[in-house]
Every structure is written in structure tokens, then in C-alpha cells.
Amino acid sequence: MADITLIENADDAAIAAWFAREIGTRMKQSEGPVTITVPGGSTPFPIMEKLLEEDLDWSRLVVWPGDDRIVPEDHEASNTGKLRALFELAGAEVVTLTIMEAVPHFDLAWLGMGADGHIASLFPNTDPQPDDPRPILRLTPDPLPPEAPFDRISLTMPSLLASDALVFVMRGEEKRTVFDAAAAGKNDLPIARLLGAAKQQVTCFV
């Protein structure tokens, strides 16, 4: 079971500053690129905007979407399009998630979680496994979320676990209850399976 640190009541600016410190530390530890994967949805993007105000060499950052809706990048539902608008303007590289990509080891895997316990686009109906041989998969959530009724592409659990650190940012008591139960091994949702297989440090902003 993962070693989990909970950080409560941090606002967007505090979370962004935490990420900036982590990314900055990794930039100092090597001269190569720093590679992270990040989530979509409504919660992360205000944090990312504040993160990019920090004084870092963004040209050394490579950003992978953890998942995306299968829509054109100029579609309002595209995570990749939104990430490009933010990170490429600052000089970072944003990768387009396709099943042909060779997934790297991530310095940091930033994740959200749905109230149903899904992570990235690994919904309960897809039966995600920590030993999935595929690094990336296409899938159809069931039920389709009404706010984004699209097929998905997603990193798999092994790809997310191939990281130096896992970081969750979530809002609301409902999600906190699901996360706490998963961390205690009291459900078998995707979040519980990921935490059960995690060997690295897990930080969770709640």
C-alpha cells in the first residue's frame, strides 16, 4: 500500500507553488528534460495557470496528458488543446496522446479522481489492472459522462505507476470519502487498485 501524505485546504496558489518546487528540484537534479503527466477537467487548469507564473525553465518541461477525449484538439472538450494553449506558450512541449506513443518514466504523475473512483479515463467499467500490458488504450466510459460524452484515450495503470511520485488534487467531501476508503483498501475501484500497487510517495491535496 502506498505511503500517502494528505494536505488539506490548500488553495490553487499553494498547490501551484508546491508543483513548482517539485519540478524545480528535478530540474536541478539533472540537465535533461523533466517529464510529467497531468489531468484534464475543471480543477487542474486554474492551478496550471498559476504554476506557469513561476520562474522555471519551462523549455525543459515535457507535458503528457494523462487522458483525453477523442475529439479534435481545437474542440472545447480537448484536454490536449487546452494544455497546448497554456504550456506551449511558456515554451514547454506538450505530447499528443496516441496509442503509438512510447510512454516514458514520469518525474511526476499528477492525477485527479472522479466520484466513481476513476483516474485518468480508467473508469470502473473498464476493469483497469496494475499489470495491464498496454501503456495506452482507447475506451468508452459506461455510462458516458453527460458533460463529456466522448470516447477516451488514456494512460494505463502501469504507465501512471511508472513515475517517481503520484500527486492527487481533488475537491469535495464525496471524493474525499471515496479516496479514504480506497486508501484503506475498503473498495476495489480504480483508485484503490492504483494505490494498492503504488510503491512511490503519494501526495493528495484535499
| HSE-CB for 62 with a 13 A CA cutoff | 12
Q: Look up the pTM and report it.
A: 0.96
pLDDT (0 to 100) of residue 142: 86
Count the domains in the chain. Answer: 1
Report the candidate in 93, 25, 107 with the shortest Cα–Cα distance to residue 60.
93
Average pLDDT rounded to a whole number, residues 147-161: 96
Q: Residue 1 — pLDDT band, cuts 50, 70, 90?
A: low
Query: Which H helix or E strand runs over 159?
Result: helix 157-161
pLDDT (0 to 100) of residue 45: 97
Query: Residue 198, class by beta-carbon neighbours within 10 Å (0-12 exposed, 13-18 middle, 19+ buried)?
Result: buried
Query: Which H helix or E strand runs over 166?
Result: strand 165-169
Which domain, by its residues, includes 53? 3-205
Q: What is the pLDDT of residues 98-151, one digit of tens each?
A: 998 899 999 999 999 999 999 999 999 999 999 999 999 999 988 888 888 999
Q: Would the pLDDT of 165 be above 80?
A: yes
Say which CATH number the domain at 181 has: 3.40.50.1360
Q: What is the pLDDT of residues 15-72, one digit of tens each?
A: 999 999 999 999 999 999 999 999 998 899 999 999 999 999 999 999 999 999 999 9
Pairing relationship of beta strands 152-155 and 136-139 according to DSSP bridges = antiparallel
Alpha-carbon gap, residue 155 to 136, rounded angstroms: 5
Which 8-state DSSP code applies to residue 175? Answer: H
Q: Which triple of cell numbers denotes residue 35? A: 517529464
Q: In what order do the strands lie in the sheet with 61-65?
A: 3-7, 201-205, 165-169, 108-111, 34-38, 61-65, 93-94
Q: Would the pLDDT of 84 be above 90?
A: yes
Average pLDDT rounded to a whole number, residues 150-172: 97
